[in-house]
Structure formats: structure tokens, C-alpha cells
């Protein structure tokens, strides 16, 4: 079955990307992880990898073209001939949402889109809104929470202004690049909220006053937005903020119990008290539930310069192998084999003993067993805060904002002692900041 290749979102304020160059040509065979093309935005330039193996076909955008986020620009097919047809134009959710919006009066302002947290993602679940129509927001204020199969994150507004319109409700799956809100420069006269399913219907307008006496009554105070109440989803997914999930995991609380008693979703930290006070609560922590979370922040320039030097001088162009080697050297305590997995935009590559015999020489391989450590490289995504909780192995997550990199270590108390966790994060962050110390 063909796989669609879409234009990714590298930042919250991005609605399109420019294809710098194609690294594969139509008809070329590609393997999972191969770089397909380079894309550039105002914030970053990156290589986009293939999410499966096959042949590159149905290329519809040339180098130099600006393409909307979420639009299908090629396919990975089972044969070099492909389908012989261009991808359907309906695959550009940002354009569709905008076209729908143009059929009704919409406020002027900047559009906020559903971000892409990974190349294999085509939609995101809107967990909850943190603002109400008409609210004043800053660029860094949290606008909404979104969840995919790979990650959960809080999404900032991206612009200073006022919430003129919310175009989706909590619990709805929104295509990547789809417009979910509008931020206006001036305070809107009639801000509104609606479901994404009713995007083709104009917002409701207040009914006319029945008489002059009613019209002269002072307007009631603006009520605080009520917490959205979503019914349990048929697919079993629970709507909850990332922080609520993390705290529930640490305390050994089962969010499914709130679903069973009909507590309204999405769940937030304040709902954990109600969960803890449920009668006959018997939830106990799962293995590895008591978690540790440590963070380190360092300048990005040191590692970036080292990667450029390693590529030009030593012909080592695999950044993932360098990260895996740094981590393995910090984690290793004996001569036993050590498997480190590096995950980037939902694609994972495993490295056996990446610090031996020489940094960057380890080859990618299939990970048939749970790795000793997982590195999740999100430096080129919009994420700036990560709180996912303990997984099946310790996880180092890299996120970047401007010129600094934040390294977050999350692990279960049964996976690493406090002393070992501190030593691992300190050593890894130190190697990223001053990579040459690794070679001494």
C-alpha cells in the first residue's frame, strides 16, 4: 500500500515550507530512514526521512516550491511506476480548512494550526483548550493540549493578541496543518467557538432583545468557561493533560477509574484529588511507575560544531550514532553488550555498543529487544517541555529553543538509582556541551 509523503510542520507559526532539494529522484528505491528531501522554513532547515521502504513516485512539488503544511507531495509505492496519478488535493488540510472558513464571516487574524509531532502523523487529538474566546494571550501562553500516538504536548499561541475564534472542540481529531484557532491583533467584537465538524456553519449570533426594557439591562458578567465534557471514546483513549498523566503515573492512580464513574473529560491535575478519593480505590503502582525526571540545559553550539567537524574530517554524518555513542559511554558500567535506540520524528534506529570501537562507527540495526536506553531527538520539533513519564527503559529527550538544548531524563525508580540517573544526565549533557571531552 503506498505511503504518503507530506510537508511537515517544524514550528507552530509555520503554515508552509520550501523544498530546498530532492535527495531522491522519482523511481529511486528508498529504504526506511533514507533522506528524501530538504525543507526550509523561517526557523530551521532539515532533511525529511522516508517512513517506509519502496520507490519514490508521484512527486508533485519541485525544488524551490513553497508547499502548505500537511499537503501530500509524493508517495512511496511498491513499484517504480507508482500510481501514475498525483496525490489528491484534499490531502492539504490547511488549505481545506481555510477554504471552508472563507464560506462564512471569519475574524481577521493569524491562524494557529495543528502541529506535526512526527513524520508518520496525519492528525492530532485536541485534548483541551486552556483559553476561552476573547481571552488576551501572549506568544508563549499555552493555547491547547494535543496528543498523538507518540507524544503529548502543550501548544503555545505563537502570537500576541486576542482569541478571536476556536475552530475545534476537545476530543476531536484534527488533520496536521488544519486551522484550530485565530488570534487577532485587536480585541474581537464577537469571539466564538465551534466544532471542527460544523466549520461550514456560521457562528451563532445573539438573539435580538425582545423589548427596550430588556435591551437596557446591563450585560451579565462574562462567565468563566466551563470544563468541556467529553463522552468516553469508542477507541478507549482517555483525554488528559500531559501533566495529569505524569502525576497519575507517579502516584499509582488509574485514570480509567474516572472514566468508569463518568467523571467529565479531559482530566487535569485538579481531577486527581477526586480520583484518589474514590471509594474502594485499589489502584497500585505498576512496575516502574515511581518515576524520576531530571533536566539539564546547555548551549547548542558545541554539539552542532562537533557534528560539522565529524562529518567533514572523519566522514561521520550519522548524528544519531554520535548521540548513541555519548549516551553509551555514560551508561556503561562493565564489558557487557549495550543497545541504544535513537528515535527521531517517530523513526527509531538501534545501535549495538555505539561507543566501541570508535565513536560514530556503529551501524544501524533492528532492535529485537528492549534497549538499555532510548534517546528521543526532538530538537527540530516545536516541543519545549516534555513530561511523558517512565517507559520500558530510561529515556533521554532532546528539545531545543533558539540557541539552547534541554536534555530531559525520565526513568522508573527500578531502572536507575538516583545516583546513576544524575551521573547519566550529567555525563551526557557535558559531552554534548564539550564533545571533545569524550575523545580524551
**pLDDT value for 150:** 59
Mean pLDDT of 23-36: 87
- Name all domains of the chain by residue range, CATH numbers in brackets: 3-91 (2.40.50.100), 93-201 (2.40.50.100), 242-276 (no CATH), 291-439 (3.30.559.10)
**pLDDT value for 410:** 93
Q: What confidence tens digit (pLDDT) does each residue in 87-126 have? A: 544 344 444 444 444 445 678 888 888 876 655 566 778 8
Q: What confidence tens digit (pLDDT) does each residue in 292-335 have? A: 899 999 999 999 999 898 888 888 888 898 999 899 988 988 88
> DSSP E strands: which ranges in 41-79?
45-49, 54-57, 66-68, 72-77
The residue that leads in pLDDT, 340 or 150, is 340
Indicate the DSSP class of residue 403.
T
Q: What confidence tens digit (pLDDT) does each residue in 124-142 have? A: 788 889 999 999 999 888 8
Cell triple for residue 329? 559511554
- What is the distance between the alpha carbons of residues 270 and 418, in angstroms, rounded to a whole number? 28
8 A C-beta contact, residue 70 and residue 36: no
Taking the complete model, does pTM exceed 0.85, yes or no? Answer: no
8 A C-beta contact, residue 162 and residue 184: yes
The answer, yes or no, to whether the previous bond of 357 is cis (omega within 30 of 0) is: yes
Q: What confidence tens digit (pLDDT) does each residue in 223-249 have? A: 444 444 445 555 566 777 767 777 887
Amino acid at each position: 500500500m503506498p505511503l504518503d509523503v507530506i510537508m511537515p510542520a517544524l514550528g507552530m507559526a509555520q503554515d508552509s515550507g520550501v523544498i530546498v532539494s530532492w535527495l531522491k529522484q522519482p523511481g529511486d528505491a528508498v529504504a526506511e530512514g533514507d533522506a528524501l528531501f530538504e525543507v526550509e522554513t523561517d526557523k530551521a532547515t532539515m532533511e525529511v526521512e522516508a517512513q517506509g521502504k519502496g520507490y519514490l513516485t508521484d512527486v508533485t512539488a519541485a525544488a524551490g516550491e513553497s508547499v502548505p503544511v500537511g499537503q501530500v507531495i509524493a508517495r512511496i509505492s511498491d513499484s517504480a511506476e507508482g500510481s501514475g496519478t498525483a496525490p489528491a488535493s484534499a490531502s492539504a488540510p490547511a488549505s481545506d480548512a481555510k477554504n471552508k472558513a472563507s464560506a462564512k464571516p471569519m475574524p481577521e487574524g493569524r491562524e494557529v494550526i495543528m502541529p506535526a509531532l512526527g513524520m508518520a502523523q496525519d492528525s492530532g487529538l485536541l485534548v483541551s483548550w486552556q483559553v476561552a474566546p476573547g481571552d488576551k494571550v501572549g506568544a508563549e501562553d499555552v493555547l491547547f493540549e494535543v496528543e498523538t500516538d507518540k507524544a503529548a504536548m502543550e501548544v503555545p499561541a505563537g502570537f500576541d493578541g486576542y482569541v478571536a475564534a476556536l475552530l475545534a472542540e476537545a476530543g476531536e481529531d484534527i488533520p496536521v496543518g488544519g486551522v484550530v484557532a485565530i488570534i487577532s491583533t485587536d480585541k474581537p467584537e464577537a469571539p466564538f467557538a465551534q466544532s471542527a465538524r460544523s466549520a461550514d456553519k456560521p457562528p451563532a449570533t445573539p438573539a435580538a432583545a425582545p423589548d427596550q426594557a430588556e435591551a437596557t439591562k446591563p450585560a451579565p458578567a462574562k462567565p468563566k468557561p466551563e470544563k468541556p465534557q467529553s463522552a468516553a471514546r469508542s477507541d478507549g483513549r482517555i483525554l488528559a493533560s500531559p501533566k495529569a498523566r505524569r502525576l497519575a503515573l507517579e502516584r499509582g492512580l488509574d485514570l480509567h477509574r474516572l472514566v468508569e464513574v463518568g467523571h467529565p473529560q479531559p482530566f487535569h491535575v485538579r481531577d486527581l484529588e477526586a480520583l484518589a478519593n474514590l471509594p474502594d480505590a485499589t489502584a497500585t503502582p505498576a512496575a516502574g511507575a515511581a518515576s524520576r525526571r531530571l533536566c539539564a540545559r546547555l548551549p547548542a553550539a558545541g554539539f552542532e560544531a562537533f557534528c560539522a567537524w565529524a562529518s567533514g574530517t572523519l566522514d561521520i554524518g550519522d548524528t544519531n550514532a554520535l548521540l548513541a555513542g555519548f549516551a553509551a559511554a555514560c551508561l556503561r558500567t562493565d564489558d557487557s553488550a549495550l543497545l541504544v535506540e535513537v528515535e527521531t520524528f517517530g523513526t527509531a534506529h538501534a545501535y549495538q555498543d555505539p561507543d566501541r570501537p570508535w565513536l560514530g562507527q556503529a551501524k544501524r540495526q533492528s532492535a529485537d529487544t528492549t534497549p538499555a536506553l532510548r534517546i528521543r531527538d526532538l530538537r527540530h520539533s516545536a516541543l519545549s517541555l516534555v513530561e511523558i513519564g517512565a517507559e520500558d527503559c530510561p529515556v533521554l529527550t532532546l528539545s531545543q529553543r533558539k540557541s539552547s538544548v534541554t536534555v530531559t531524563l525520565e526513568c522508573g525508580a527500578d531502572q536507575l538509582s538516583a545516583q546513576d540517573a544524575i551521573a547519566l544526565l550529567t555525563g551526557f549533557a557535558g559531552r554534548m556541551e564539550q564533545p571533545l571531552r569524550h575523545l580524551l
